[in-house]
Structure 1
């Protein structure tokens, strides 16, 4: 929408309905903090019984999650502009569909600082996207991020002492790799509160080989993250989300990574999972 004006231009089509070209010129910088938290706190964020966290033999009662921030630049569908995004991912999630079983990490919520990708990402892809400010500060060794709305900061991420040394922990390395991303698409029915017009899981497969090229990759074993609850007056449309985020206890920080890459995928391979 709005209808009557022709195709809506976005990441996957032009105003003429053609495929967008130039994704090979896009640039991305991604910072990821991997941590462990109580399984029950993370399982509570999964919106459907079709999603389950696979139990860990080595960490009873704990599950793995991550906070990932990406800065995108030189995007062809934005005429060379860019934007930033930050999401909470729950790892080792399995989705039991009617015809297949899909494993990956579940995107619980994604904050973005530009409305254009939020509209297309929610309607086309089923991403749980919301608007927020994403104020970052970085140098060669450190990175910090403040997540907020109209001056109220509700999320803080910091990574220190980046190094080219590859961590010896295989668990950290495995959770920094690309994998399937699970979502739950929900569109309410007009005039019928509590009923849905559309309600089903979706999946983003890893980007096709050759769509992007890693330029640098760094690691860190020193990172912190914090979410703060706020009331309705401070965050009228986000307070219910920040309350849940603040209840997550990061029992153990496994480490962090930074990746810069050239080239990006338009996520046109997104698909529904039949349940």
Structure 2
């Protein structure tokens, strides 16, 4: 069968080029940017010192210390042959002060409920993706509620209410900044790769189908080792952050958008 892929590789390498979000078979490349997304953005003010402790060296907080989560339901994804998956992203308004200057959101962790985007995002982009069960949020009519779990343990609850239509935002999405880390085999505690990566909004621009504004809240639950044997340090740091002055809840529906191939190493 002649349906060539581009020369992009991931493990296992012996089987040839690897298909994925940035490497579709030739006959399917017209579907590269296909997707539908419904995102809910929630935020709260927290204490600056523990929030800043989540930032890598050469990064500083921007504005009031605020923890944000973005819950996204993706569907009709081209590179997954029409399938979808769900995301919970944690982000912090921050600035990178390296050789380059970049202000946007630092993303310390991303949960997803499908292995394929986790593997491609970690290896190709440097996103700190890990697995969680993220059920479809329940639509209450004027809002929604939802959660994220691992092995049956619910570590995140979120919700929004009184959502009303508003005009879509005029400004583009802010850049996102990540720390890519890969350990060196056999030299435990040593990095093979430890670098910052970033993505700024690139073409094609997603089409905004609707936008709503309301109120919302979220909370993380503390976990024992028995609850989340490999993730309890992550959720416990987030659960220890005091949350107050919750910001507006924004629900955005879009179609199309970038495949994040503009991701780059940040110097």
Q: Give the TM-score normalised by structure 1.
A: 0.88
**What CA distance in whole angstroms lies between the structure 2 residues aligned with 1:230 and 1:67?**
19
Deviation, structure 1 residue 14 = 2.6
The residue aligned with 2:57 is 49
Cα distance in 2 between the residues matched to 1:162 and 1:207: 29
Q: SS of 1:45's equivalent?
A: coil
Alpha-carbon distance between aligned partners in 1 of 2:28 and 2:34, rounded to the nearest angstrom: 15
What residue number does 2:41 align with? Answer: 32
Query: In the alignment, does 2:175 pair up with 1:180?
Result: yes
Counterpart in the other structure of 2:130: 130
Q: 2:75 aligns with which of 73, 76, 87?
A: 73
Matched-pair contact (CA < 8 Å) for 1:157–1:223: yes
Residue deviations 1:61-107 (CA, integer Å, cap 9, x gap): x412211011111111111101010111001x111222x11111011
Equivalence for 2:109: 109
* Structure 1 counterpart of 2:250: 257
Q: Could you tell me how far apart the structure 2 residues matched to 1:245 and 1:183 are?
A: 17
Aligned equivalents of 1:34 and 1:235: distance in 2? 24
Change (3 A) 1:236 1:20: farther
Shift of 1:230: 1.1
Matches within 5 A, 1:236-255: 236-255=229-248
Give the TM-score of the pair, scaled to structure 2.
0.90
Contact 1:23/1:264 (8 A) holds in 2: no
Q: Distance between the aligned counterparts of 1:96 and 1:19, measured in 2?
A: 40
SS in 1 for 2:124: helix
Please state whether the residue corresponding to 1:95 is helix, strand or coil.
strand
List gaps (5 residues or longer) in structure 1: 57-61, 167-172
CA contact (8 A) 1:230 1:243 kept: yes
State the distance in 1 between where 2:29 and 2:60 align: 36
8 Å CA contact 2:178, 2:196 repeated in 1: yes
Which structure has more relative contact order (CA 8 Å, sep 6+)? It is 1
Of 211, 217, 222, the residue aligned with 2:211 is 217
Q: CA deviation at 1:44?
A: 1.1
CA RMSD of aligned residues (A): 2.0
Alpha-carbon displacement from aligned partner over 1:222-246 (angstroms, at most 9, x marks no partner)? 2111111111111111111111110
Determine if contact 2:24/2:32 at 8 Å carries over to the other structure: no
Following TM superposition, where does structure 1 have runs of at least 4 consecutive aligned residues deviating by more than 6 angstroms? none
Partner SS state of residue 159, structure 1: strand
| Alignment partners' CA distance in 2, 1:206 and 1:217 | 19
Residues 37 and 255 of structure 2 are in contact (CA less than 8 Å); yes or no, is this contact kept in structure 1? yes
What whole-Å deviation, never above 9, does each CA across 1:160-201 have from its counterpart, x for those lacking one?
1101246xxxxxx79x96110000001110011111111111
Give the Cα–Cα distance (whole angstroms) in 2 for the partners of residues 165 and 102 of structure 1.
29
